[in-house]
Structure formats: structure tokens, C-alpha cells
Structure 1
Amino acid sequence: MSTNCENQIRLNFPDKGSMPALGFGTYAPGESEEDVYKAVQVAIKAGYRHLDCAAIYRNERAVGQAIKKTIVEDKVTREDLFVVSKLWNTCHKPDLVRTSLKKSMEDLGLQYLDLYLIHWPIGLKEGGDFIPKDEKGNVLFSDVDFVETWKVMEDCVDEGLVKYIGLSNFNSEQIKRVLDVARIKPVVNQVECHIYLSQEKLIEFCNTHGIIVTAYSPFASPGHKKMPYAPCMQDPTIIEIAKSKGKKPSQVILRFLLQRDIAVVAKSVTSDRIIENFQVFDFELNDEEMKKILALNKNHRTNTEDIALSHKYYPFSIEF
């Protein structure tokens, strides 16, 4: 782990490249493109340099406009930013990968991406909606093997369309299948990770293979219907530690994840919250505090992707 001049934590790739550990998430369901456009500008001006995007978020054009505006205003250069996007499930067929990547690049207004991920190991039927369904409302699957998808992801690196490639929501067995054939190894696996889902075994597995874990839903999707526990930010242990540090519970949670040497994607469209979430580099948690928070784990997953429970590549049927 190393830091740059702004004291933001960076995580190193095997080739000596690196990525900012704290990312700004652009998934904003129910929010307008204008809200996302403004939020990304606030985030960049607050110091975020890692922007996490995806085709399925359906707002990459707004993100791209915000990037362009901040560059024009001389707030950042393109080289300052680490921009991530993801290949959606309906584009796993090898002949669709490059087209999907180029569409994200076009919407974002960029000549290259820093990191491109396979969003899920699960393939859905090509050529239709983001979530294709039959007349009875059943989700339609594709049987394409993600290993074949990976081979074209590698070609995209060769062509200079993207610097790094990785995975998202892959379990250890699926990662191993990719590693067994990979000419270019995945550098990241982005998964749900928070105080109630510590992902210790998966993180250890990824570390062993030189893969950085990026945590999404760091606050365990507050208000999620499947959350049987108190929201993370209302947990008594988190509140106690936050008070002792003069920090917000959200900041303690983000700091906890960062100190585990993983990347974290925090999202919000509220300016104050965006700025607050970035103010996590001026304090540390001690070993005892880290152990207390780690003990909160309940192996509880909120993003279960139930629409694909019967898919042959459903990732959450094994422990990690």
C-alpha cells in the first residue's frame, strides 16, 4: 500500500501500475442524469480520482459530460483519473465484447478506459433488453462461457482500448477458471463487502493470486428489504468508535475497509455526503478497533441476484 501527494491510499498492480483505493460510485437508481452529472463534478473536485461506472447504470453519458467539464475547467487531466466500466451480462458473446466496451468509451467521451470488468459471470440472452424476459416474465439466459468472454477482454488490452481488465461478482472457483486460461490476468474482483459481509476467505484467495478486491455496497445497502439487522451506520460498535475518533460512522466503515488493503466504492448524489466520504485519510483504526469491527461479520449478502438463481454460473452457491 502506498499514498500519493494528496495522501489518498493507492493499491498496486503487479506491473507497478496502481489505482486509487477509494472510488466514487455512479450507480444511482432513481436519480436523474443531471443529478449524476453534478455529483461526479462534486466528487472530482472533492478529490476522488477513481470513478466506478457500468453500462447497466444507464448514465455513462452524464458521467462523461461531468468528466469533460472538470477537465475543461482544469481541475484534473484525463491521466489523473482512473475510470472503470463493466461489461453487461447480455454482451458476453465474444463478438459483442468489443462493441460494448467501445459504446461505454463513447458515452464516457474517453479514448481508453483504465479498467474494464465482466460485471457478472452470468450471461443473459443477447440482443434485447438489459434484463431479457419471455412472455411469462422469466429471465432469459445465455449459455456463453465467461472464459470465452475473457479472451476477448484480453484482446481489448492488446488494442489499447483498456489498460487493465478484471472481474466482478466472481467466486473463487470461477476466478480460478479464468486464471487457468488467462494470458492477461485479472487485476481486480469487485464484490459486495461490508461489516456484515467481511469476505475474508475470498479476499485471502484473491490476495494469493495478486488480485485486488474492490468492495461495493460498503454500507450494506441501507434500507434494503433483505437487511434483517440494524443499518451498518447504526451499529453500536461503529457508533462508539466513530465518537472516539470524532468521525462519522460512514467514515469509520470506509476506513475499516481501506485498512484491509482493498479498494472501496462509495456512492451518493448528496454533495455533503460525497465530500464527507472522502475525508477518511486523516485518521486510522488501531488493531483492537479493526478486530471489533471484523467480529461484526454475519456473512449476510444483500445483492443476491435472485433473477439468476438457476443459472449454471450463479456465483453465490458456494462459500466463497
Structure 2
Amino acid sequence: MENIEPDNAQVAQLVRDAIDLGYRHFDTAQIYRSEPGVGKGIRDKIESGDVKREDIFVTTKLWRNAHGTDDVVPSLRSSLQELGLDYVDLFLIHWPTAFQSGPNQFPKDEVGKFQYASIDYLDTWKIEVHPYLSNSKLVAFCKSHDITVMAYSPLGGFKWRNGETEGPSIFNDSTIQAIARKYEKSPAQIALRFQLQRGVAVCPKSSKKHRIAENINVFDFTLGPEDMNRLLACDRNYRLNAEFPDHPFYPFHENF
């Protein structure tokens, strides 16, 4: 499990491009190492007068080794310093499974086993939602309690195993491709529109300007009820991110 250092100059440029295209919510995290680039792009557009800070919604996240009571505030302050911002709009718990507190973000014991922390809580984090994991029961529960759901990995993706990718891609799905042809849109646009019509906010990731432009161009069409049902039927309960199932507070054993 290695951290890939991003090119934060490129990240800053992508953020500037995204603001020009109309994006106003930017998602980053300590573990992504992209906070400096995200912050730089936002600050540049504020300084140029194109946007105000209050126009931008910034999310960053607390990593697993800082769930302890004494660790949270210092971790947030570190993120603010990396971003070069006075505040963030949302500070999420990145994952519900905590690691041992300390400077090591992936602490292991002498035999290479991850060192967990017995920290349990009820709080809020984004949930994985895409056509192969509709998470309908959890989405319905949240709606019934007036909780807004934000989907991470709304375009699906691959599972990573020892540096290799595995698993199905929604972009190759025949149903999604057929619906994309019908509406003259890309499979990605269909996947994003699907979530928006379910009342689920989306947080797609891209490192290409033309894809960033494509991903925001989803408000000029509406999927019909039949196509929404066809997309719901794509559900395979296929979870991309379900690490550390032996953690004492692993949440995905629950029937949600």
C-alpha cells in the first residue's frame, strides 16, 4: 500500500480549469497528498477575482491514524496549513476503521500486521455508490432522516491488489453503453446523472480537463423511469473499497 505523490502544480491547474468550467466543490484529503495543489488553485482564482472564498466548498479528510481525541484538531490544523486556507467547509472521517495513533499513517507490527485502534463512533463519511453498488437501502435510510448522501467513486473503478487492477468496469457494461447511446452521452455522464436523479450528490475524480468538462455536462437531459430502473438493476453489490475486514469496527458486515 503505497502513497503516490501527485504533481501538485498539475493539481492546481486542474482546479483553476474546473473553477472556470463552473465547479465549486473540491474534495481532497491528507492521504491524497493533493491539499497543496487544491489550495493553490483555489487561492489563485480568489486572488484573480474570479471567485470569492465563500463561493467555494472545500472538503478534506481525517486519516485513520488521527482518530484519537487529541489528534483531530492538530490534524485539521495541518490540513489547513497544507491548503493555505483559513477554514474548510467539511472535514470528514476518511474511513471508519481507525489505525493506531502516531506519525505512521500505515502502522504495522513486527510481523507486518496493521495495528488497529479500538475507536468506535457514530459520525458521517461519504459512502461508495455507483451502478454496481447502488447502496439503495442506505440511501433510502439517509433520505428518511433528511441526510444528504454524497457518493465517492460514482464512476466505479477497479479494485487494486498488490499493484494490479482487477474487477469489472461500468464503462464496458452493455446496459450502460446502450443507455449512453440512447441519450448521446458518455457512460460516465449516464452514471453521474443516475445518481443525481436519485438525490445523491456525486464527487467524480479526473485528471484530464476534457473529462472534467464532460462530468459537469449532465444537466441538459433526464433519464426516463425505465432507464433508471435498468441502471438500478445493474447493482451487483460490488464494493471497491472494503479494506481491513478483520478490524473490530469494520462497518460493512451490516446489512446496508
Partner of 2:196: 258
Matched, 1:107 2:82: yes
Partner of 2:115: 140
> C-alpha deviations, 1:190-241, integer Å up to 9, x for none?
11110000000011111122211111111211475341x3x11121111111
Distance, in Å, in 2 between the alignment partners of 1:29 and 1:240 is 35
**Aligned Cα root-mean-square deviation (Å):** 1.7
Distance, in Å, in 2 between the alignment partners of 1:59 and 1:250 is 23
Gap runs ≥5 in structure 2: none
Distance, in Å, in 2 between the alignment partners of 1:30 and 1:239 is 33
Matched, 1:271 2:209: yes
TM-score by length of 2: 0.92
Which among 146, 153, 160 is matched to residue 217 of structure 1? Answer: 153
Partner of 1:300: 238
Counterpart of 2:124, as a letter, is: L
Matched, 1:116 2:91: yes
Partner of 1:287: 225
TM-score by length of 1: 0.74
Distance, in Å, in 2 between the alignment partners of 1:89 and 1:263 is 24
Partner of 1:317: 253
Following superposition, the deviation at residue 127 of structure 1 comes to 1.1
Counterpart of 1:299, as a letter, is: N
Counterpart of 1:88, as a letter, is: W
Distance, in Å, in 2 between the alignment partners of 1:251 and 1:29 is 27
SS at match of 1:51: strand
Distance 1:63 1:264, change over 3 A: same
Aligned pairs for 1:117-196 within 5 A: 117-146=92-121, 167-168=124-125, 190-196=126-132
Aligned pairs for 1:235-246 within 5 A: 235-246=173-184
- Report if the CA contact (8 A) 1:192-1:301 is conserved: yes
Distance 1:30 1:241, change over 3 A: farther
- Report if the CA contact (8 A) 1:120-1:167 is conserved: no
SS at match of 1:86: strand
Partner of 2:20: 45
Report the structure, 1 or 2, having the larger strand content.
1
Matched, 1:91 2:29: no
Following superposition, the deviation at residue 35 of structure 1 comes to 2.2
Matched, 1:200 2:175: no
Distance, in Å, in 1 between the alignment partners of 2:82 and 2:103 is 19
Distance, in Å, in 1 between the alignment partners of 2:11 and 2:140 is 34
- Report if the CA contact (8 A) 1:226-1:302 is conserved: no
- Report if the CA contact (8 A) 1:119-1:167 is conserved: no
What's the % identity of the aligned pairs? 43
Distance 1:213 1:73, change over 3 A: same
- Report if the CA contact (8 A) 2:159-2:240 is conserved: no
